[in-house]
Amino acid sequence: MLLQRKKLRLENYDYSQCNAYFVTLCTHNRQQLFGTIEPLPVGATLRGRPNNPDKMIEKWINELENKFYEVRIDCFCIMPDHLHLIIVIQNRNGSGLEKIISWLKTMTTNEYIRGVKSGLFLPFENKVWQRSYYDHIIRDEQDLNEKRDYILTNPIRWLEKTSCPD
């Protein structure tokens, strides 16, 4: 008996519609390939410490708006083993979310492989990204603000989850 994969996309929904989408991409087997999250001194803002993979991924996220004229990136956060972003599709005649995410995964994977070969990035097991991705269709302004807050506070939750008790 073959197991059937769970459908991740909302059935009968057109993902090229003008809308905002909250998207999460995870690394294959949750490999921590994209740097670390560390607390900064008192009074400083908490954020991920950028390294070469972080900068590379950020470059391709920013390039989405040039590649897909109908896309605007609202906000994003690169974590050690995943990425959150809000993608706004502003023109219905453009590409769908699946094509946009596929392009982002391809570009970042290709550059990550070049980084591994040149000794700049950590080697990875099998592949960089998981096969699919999680998406949430943002329904209204409150939903958008909740997703923005989730993205912006993700490094804090990461530290709380990974910190050891004294």
* Residue 14 in domain: no
* Residue 41 in domain: no
- As a whole number of Å, the CA-based R_g of the chain is 17
Q: Which residues contact 156 (CB under 8 A, 6 or more apart)?
A: 46
Residues 107-141 have pLDDT tens digits of: 999 999 999 999 889 999 999 999 999 999 999 99
* Residue 5 in domain: no
pTM: 0.84
* Residue 1 in domain: no
Tokens 């991740």: give the residue.
Answer: 8
Residues 7-32 have pLDDT tens digits of: 566 677 778 889 999 999 999 999 99
Q: Give the domain extent around 79.
A: 19-34+47-155
Residue 148 has pLDDT above 90, yes or no: yes
- CATH classification of the domain holding 126: 3.30.70.1290
Q: How many domains does the chain have?
A: 1
* Residue 165 in domain: no
Q: How far is CA 79 from the centre of its chain?
A: 8
CA atoms within 13 A on the CB side of 42: 0
* Residue 69 in domain: yes
Averaged pLDDT score across all residues of the chain: 86
So what's the pLDDT on residue 3? 55
* Residue 40 in domain: no
Contact in structure between 19 and 137 (CB atoms under 8 Å): yes
* Residue 52 in domain: yes
